[in-house]
Structure 1
Amino acid sequence: MAWSPLRSDARVLRQIRLFADRYAVTTIGYGEAPDGVVEHLRLPDHVVHWHKDRRLLALRRFETAYRGAPVTVAAAELLADQAKFDVVLANDADTLPLALELAPYGGVHLDLHEYASRQSEESWRWRLFVAPYYRWLLRRHGREADSASTVGRWLAREYRREFGLTCAVVPNAAPYADRTPTPVGAPLRLVHSGLARRGRSLHVMVDAVRSCQRDVTLDLYLMPNDPTYLEQLRASCADLPQIRFHDPVPPEQLGDALAAADLGVFVLPPVNFNYRFTLPNKFFDFVQARLGIIIGPSPEMADLVRHHRLGVVLDDFTGEALAAALDALSDAQVADFKAASDAAARELSAQEQVRGWVRAIDTLAARVGG
């Protein structure tokens, strides 16, 4: 269960691919059926997954808000005629109460992609109306899940402290790719992939390229989540031909696109809890593309960069710090970073990192018998 377009949700796709060869997988979510499933229950495209009655949230009538949410109503209708399932894998907190109501024979595993109650805490509206709802949901239902997982160690610690949830850690690792690091380019080739959202502060990379003393290029593969912001970003780069905007590429093609670069860049100012402790898909995509990595001082990523010697951890999240780091790098250092990604690629691959899901789902399935 996932209230997302399943064919483009990288984490959910990894779950589906992992279990489709071992179990008969039914999915419920948006968009066309993912490959390998036995049945797909498609949520109507017009149903907005995040919509909830603001009046009910303000009145703290959270149960009523959940039951009346359009996505809950639509999903309940799709599931009404289904036979009882053996195991349910519920993605993110919003799916959990409905998953528990299905009462699968083996149980429910909850996979939390973000820290639900602090996801957009930079917004006062979120803090006032939405955060209390998610705190209620997790306090009321979180420990009813038979097992749980999340994307990083810091999030797991906070889920345990605040909600008493014990979460296995399953990072958003990409599948292992058999690649060889490419020689360092001249000019130095930077790349970033991800969402075009204002809160992602993508201008930091633009500022760095503008003030860099060395010759660099920057290729951006951005999802048009906020078309207005994306056009503003394009306009700000009109005098920078070394910055190139590309259409998004499918997940299975992204690795080849990234591998043409030297350094993957991700500098995300910590405007909320999830941004502070982010460990995103793109980090592992960079590793599988055999790139060096430059990041801001985000603890989850910084630990891995330093442990595996993958690249540079900046002192802060500014364009000035990024430009200074790029100017200070030698080609030999970049080559060493790319070689370090190559050495760490198998350990940091999905094949190794998804074992937490395998243990959890196999444990629940073993309860069923037969």
Structure 2
Amino acid sequence: MTHLPSLLILTFSPIRSDPRVLKQVELFKDKYRVSTCAYGDAPDGVEEHFALPADSRGWPSDKVGLISHQYGRVYDGLPAVQSARAILPKGKFDVILANDLNTLPLALELEPRLGVHADLHEFAPREKEDNVKWRLFIAPFMRWLCSRYLPLAASVTTVSQGIADEYTKDYGMPVKVVTNAAPYAAGTVRPAGERIRLIHSAAGQRYRKLENFVEAMKDAPAWLTLDMIVMPNEPDYVAELKALAADVPAITFRDPVPYKDLVRTLTEYDVSIVFLPPTNFNLKNALPNKFFEAVQARIALIVGPSPAMVGLVKEHGLGAITKDFSAQSLRETLFALTPEAIDRWKQSADAAARPLSAESQVAVWETVIADIVGAG
């Protein structure tokens, strides 16, 4: 039997609920001897798992180090880095796939025999640029990480072309794109009925301006309803949002759905709203999981004028695009929906399900890891 190269998939996230990282595991588990390091239990099919303590956060809190620009000290002090150093052996792995910028220095430090691939899920230096404190203190640390460590990666991928272009412009290396496409799911189109069911899922974060949905659905006609799945990222904000929606009978909040059940759950609906006001660079250039999950569920899409999403909606005829990111524009688009238009968009989603699936995207990862192995 041929000796398979060893691959460590490294992430500071709960791996069993991280769709992008799970796709990496699924892609490589039969091609390499895959180990994982992450929060939580091991994903299915890996050879070895190094579990990080749930309370070992992967983002900086060393205020003195940040203010004094002692960025090596800041990185060394990250609890997730300290925990990972205690359990991960140096020199054991042939290749490391480092997810997000905060794992890259650690991956390089672990001295894989052949090299490190960096998969960047955001444009890290501008991730929370809408927050003044973050912009003043964290952003310079992120820029330091990029300048110092990105050139040492054998290859780099990210989630959209706009983000890839920004990394190349600012840091000079070529960056390939692997979108957050969902795995292909066989399915059929369910015609829209007299009542149109809308769905929106989101992290409960203030900068996402989810109050736009409440404003848009005020006095909605009886044939139009919206279910919202909002994660409790900022509990006070989520409570405010639910209080604001209490007098809007068209809106219902439902509990989060396990990732494995998400596409099947979406088939209960007619339209997914993927409406992300560009309050920071990453939201402006977003091409999120939920966009592709709607396609696999064979339902229509309503998106704001986000460049990456607009291109795909137009190319494949997947739905409608609002004029701008105002609640009024969203309201006008929703109130103009018809079953006939939705059925056309659903048919287009069915036709696009295969070309917009994860299987069409992850070949990029397969190639870059194979290139590292081949070069070694």
Shorter-normalised TM range: over 0.9
Which of the residues 112, 115, 122 maps onto 1:114? 122
Which of the residues 70, 79, 82 maps onto 1:70? 79
The residue that corresponds to 2:7 in the other structure is none
Which of the residues 207, 225, 234 maps onto 2:233? 225
The residue that corresponds to 2:3 in the other structure is none
**Amino acid of the structure 2 residue aligned with 1:225:** N
The residue that corresponds to 1:13 in the other structure is 22
Q: What's the TM-score once normalised by structure 1's chain length?
A: 0.96
Which of the residues 351, 358, 363 maps onto 1:343? 351
Please give the secondary structure, in 1, of the residue aligned with 2:218: helix
The residue that corresponds to 1:358 in the other structure is 366
Q: How does 1:127-142 map to 2 (within 5 A)?
A: 127-142=135-150
The alignment status of 1:322 with 2:334, answered yes or no, reads no
**Amino acid of the structure 2 residue aligned with 1:143:** P
The residue that corresponds to 2:6 in the other structure is none
Q: Which runs of 5 or more residues in structure 2 are unaligned? A: 1-9
Please give the secondary structure, in 1, of the residue aligned with 2:355: coil
The residue that corresponds to 2:198 in the other structure is 190
The residue that corresponds to 2:162 in the other structure is 154
CA drift at 1:239: 2.2
CA drift at 1:186: 2.1
**Amino acid of the structure 2 residue aligned with 1:312:** A
Aligned length: 367
CA drift at 1:112: 0.3
Please give the secondary structure, in 2, of the residue aligned with 1:41: strand
The residue that corresponds to 2:296 in the other structure is 288
The residue that corresponds to 2:260 in the other structure is 252
Which of the residues 194, 206, 209 maps onto 2:214? 206
Q: In 1, are the aligned partners of 2:91 and 2:113 still within 8 Å (CA)?
A: no
The residue that corresponds to 1:52 in the other structure is 61
The residue that corresponds to 1:123 in the other structure is 131
**Amino acid of the structure 1 residue aligned with 2:22:** L
**Amino acid of the structure 1 residue aligned with 2:304:** G
**Amino acid of the structure 2 residue aligned with 1:190:** L
RMSD of aligned Cα (Å) = 1.3
Distance (Å, rounded) in 1 between the aligned partners of 2:264 and 2:251: 19
CA drift at 1:194: 2.6
Q: Deviations over 1:168-193 (max 9, x none)?
A: 10000000011111111222110112
The residue that corresponds to 1:89 in the other structure is 97
Could you list the runs of 4 or more consecutive aligned residues of structure 1 that deviate by over 4 angstroms after TM superposition?
none
Task: Report sequence identity in percent.
Answer: 46
Which of the residues 34, 37, 62 maps onto 1:25? 34
Distance (Å, rounded) in 1 between the aligned partners of 2:249 and 2:199: 15
Q: In 2, are the aligned partners of 1:176 and 1:351 still within 8 Å (CA)?
A: yes
The alignment status of 1:308 with 2:316, answered yes or no, reads yes
Q: Deviations over 1:95-136 (max 9, x none)?
A: 111111122122100000000000000111111101001111
CA drift at 1:241: 2.9
Q: Deviations over 1:143-177 (max 9, x none)?
A: 11000100000001000000112111000000001
Distance (Å, rounded) in 2 between the aligned partners of 1:82 and 1:244: 50
Please give the secondary structure, in 2, of the residue aligned with 1:4: strand
The alignment status of 1:174 with 2:182, answered yes or no, reads yes
CA drift at 1:213: 4.4
Q: What's the TM-score once normalised by structure 2's chain length?
A: 0.95
